[in-house]
Chains A and B, each alone.
Chain A
Amino acid sequence: MDILLAITVGGLYAAGIYMMLRRNVVKLLIGLGLLSHAANLLLFTAGGLVRGRVPVVPDEGAWPLVIVADPLPQALILTAIVISFAVLAFALVLIYRTYQTLGTEDLDELKATDT
């Protein structure tokens, strides 16, 4: 399972970076989305995968002996997903407004503020 997830994470990173290298601003946004998914999944995998265990330590805390799922990575991902959702929603509106104002979706034409 670890290997499968590792390959998925790698694939998501590759796809995300590929999309960001395109000139279309919508593809840039899709690339950013994929990148944040990859990061979330990496966090999930890196936190350790445990199958069929609840993330609760029993009362009699025989802690190293009982295997429990680690709840922390899941809590972290939940936070990260909410944040990336909000940020991507903002970015979506931003590129829409940019398209309305500038009339282009080609990143190479957004040069006015560059140096």
Chain B
Amino acid sequence: MNAQAVVILPIALPLATMVMLLLSLKSVPAQKLIGVVGSTLLLLSAATLAWLVDRDGILVLQAGNWPAPFGITLVADRLSSIMVLLAGLMVFAVSVYSLASVNDSRVSFGFHPLIQLLLMGVCGAFLTGDLFNLYVWFEVMLIASFVLLTLGGERRQLEGAIKYVTLNLISSAVFLAAIGVIYAATGTLNMADLALKLRSFPDEGTVSVLSMLFLIAFGTKAAVFPLFFWLPASYHTPPVAVSAIFAGLLTKVGVYSLIRAFTLLFVTDLEFTHNLLLLIAGLTMVTGVLGAMAQNEVRRILSFHIVSQIGYMVMGLALFTPLALAGTVFYIIHHIVVKTNLFLIGGVVEQRFRTGRLDRIGGLYRSAPVLATVFFLSAMSLAGIPPLSGFFAKLTLIRGGLEAERYAIVVAALVVSLLTLFSMTKIWNEAFWKPAREDAVTNVSPRRRSRIGRACLYGPTILLASITVGIGVMAGPVMNASMATAEQLLDQNAYINAVLPDGPTGQVPAVSSERTSQ
């Protein structure tokens, strides 16, 4: 087995786990056991992949040994491997957390196989080097997420799901249309080959149209302004374990695709595309955080903050300098860990009080000091207080902005950061600091939980909080990795040469010139 074969593992392992899970659907303990073991294996394979990519550079696997651009290519570069590693980490945390938070009826209706299917789609999207294959992985991920979102069939879940399904289907249709047009224009769907062909593409207008189609398709998935409305309408409705993994991973697949498209494919007209991205980034940050300030329920506030933070990631991409892109990568690493953790903590709060509404809860600082500590660390990290991970992520982005002399976006980023702090303080004050209401329902007191149940709830949150602190304390190595990733992203030739070692392929068959005239 050579190193290339590891690239397929993050896709194959969830598939194998899912099959095992479907075979043992009747037994709830088996579901839980296989789910956690499968997630652990995925995490290990992702870590191996990240290590190999760090050591050997870009790993390419030509599926079925068909040379690119004719077959489907799987590519693991630094960005892909970091994303897969984070996905593995999140699914591990969420699987453990779900043991104590997802009820048995949802487990017996296939919660664990669906999580694995979701992860297969997510990892596939991160690793593929082919546009149509990316579409297929998107759909795998979407179908799994549709079912996860509605599993249980509660009233608000169904309402949220209608909006989520509709907007995601529209974005898929746009994506498919964009694939059709780009194939017609260039005759290839392999990303490396596309990058080469678009470089010397004669018709600038077509390239602009294509870039906008992809911007709409990926932007909807990434929830940027003004395409984000599905996110706050649906993310607070499913069980906490589900919304935590959605919050951590799904929008980031959209962001990843945006990064891929606008660092590899559409880099010929930076004046137009990346300035537009910068505008979108600013508006996304601001609208997201303003939406969050108007909310009064833990998970709704956090959902709007996802939108706001997508803005930061797009900001680094739009500035398109090595430092700013490194900021984006750092921000994604920080955001996935912190955001998932905040949702998990919000879930523990909701479990205690049977609601996430801020006016009904309180007193957690006194009754759950551990929870308060992990929440405090994660929330301050989200707001960007040193020495936590968020501080360094934002610092890098802002330094990137200053270096590129884009002061407006820097001001926006700083103001939004302040408002984030305000909004986090609101949750802190209401849920943790103020005394509990006399009539608050606390029918799930921690004493009545088993020791293992508590470990399953608190373990993942403590793990993720310590990772946040760890990234902050050891910001140097993470920063180096982000810088290396950014440099690799900006060096398109490295990617192209890795996928197409024999140089560009010949011209496309001249079908289009010889069409029938009937």
Partner-B contacts on A (CB < 8 A):
1-2, 20, 25, 28, 32, 35-36, 38-40, 42-51, 63-64, 67-70, 72-73, 76, 79-80, 83, 86-87, 90-91, 94-95, 97-98, 101-102, 107, 110, 112-115
Contact = CB atoms under 8 A, between A and B. Distances in A.
A45 B166 CA distance: 25
Contacts of B165: 87, 90-91, 94
Given A46-B183, A76-B132, A113-B237, A32 B170 contact: yes
A43 B177 contact: yes
Q: Name, among A73, A80, A97, the residue most crowded by chain B CB atoms within 10 Å (CB to CB).
A: A80
A38 B162 contact: no
A51 to B, nearest CB: 4
A1 B516 contact: yes
A85 to B, nearest CB: 11
Nearest to A48: B511
A101 B516 contact: no
Contacts of A44: 180
Nearest to B70: A72
Interface of B: 132, 135-136, 139, 142-143, 146-147, 150, 153, 155-156, 158-163, 165-166, 169-170, 172-174, 176-177, 179-181, 183-184, 189, 232-234, 236-237, 291, 294-295, 300, 304, 507, 509-512, 514-516, 518
A102 B512 contact: no
Contact of B169 (A36, A40, A42, A51): A36
Contacts of B180: 39, 42-47, 73, 76
Given A46-B184, A73-B180, A86 B143 contact: yes
Contacts of B142: 87
Interface of A is mostly: helix
A36 B173 contact: yes
A35 B173 contact: yes
B156 A112 contact: yes
B183 A113 contact: no
B166 A32 contact: yes
Contact of A40 (B161, B176, B294): B176
30 contacts: A1-B515, A25-B162, A32-B170, A35-B169, A35-B173, A43-B180, A47-B183, A49-B515, A51-B518, A68-B509, A69-B511, A73-B180, A76-B179, A80-B176, A87-B142, A87-B165, A90-B146, A90-B147, A91-B169, A94-B150, A95-B162, A97-B153, A97-B158, A98-B161, A101-B153, A102-B155, A113-B159, A115-B295, A115-B300, A115-B304
A115 B515 contact: no
B183 A39 contact: no
Contacts of A83: 136, 139
B173 A101 contact: no
B184 A48 contact: yes
Contacts of A47: 180, 183-184
B139 A87 contact: yes
A107 B159 CA distance: 9
A1 B518 contact: yes
Contacts of B166: 20, 28, 32
A98 B516 contact: no
Given A36-B176, A112-B156, A63 B169 contact: no
The 4 closest A-B pairs by CB, nearest first: A46-B184, A43-B180, A51-B516, A39-B176
A86 B117 CA distance: 15
Contacts of A32: 166, 169-170, 173
Nearest to A110: B159
A108 to B, nearest CB: 12
A101 B291 contact: no
Given A32-B170, A35-B170, A98-B158, 4 more contacts: A44-B180, A49-B516, A94-B146, A114-B233
Contact of B509 (A1, A40, A64): A64
A101 B304 CA distance: 27
A22 to B, nearest CB: 13
Contact of A63 (B150, B156, B509): B509
Contacts of A76: 132, 179-180, 183
B173 A113 contact: no
A16 B509 CA distance: 34
A106 B317 CA distance: 40
B509 A50 contact: no
A112 to B, nearest CB: 6
Contacts of B511: 48, 50, 67-70
A94 B181 contact: no
Contact of B156 (A35, A48, A113): A113
A63 B509 CA distance: 7
B314 to A, nearest CB: 22
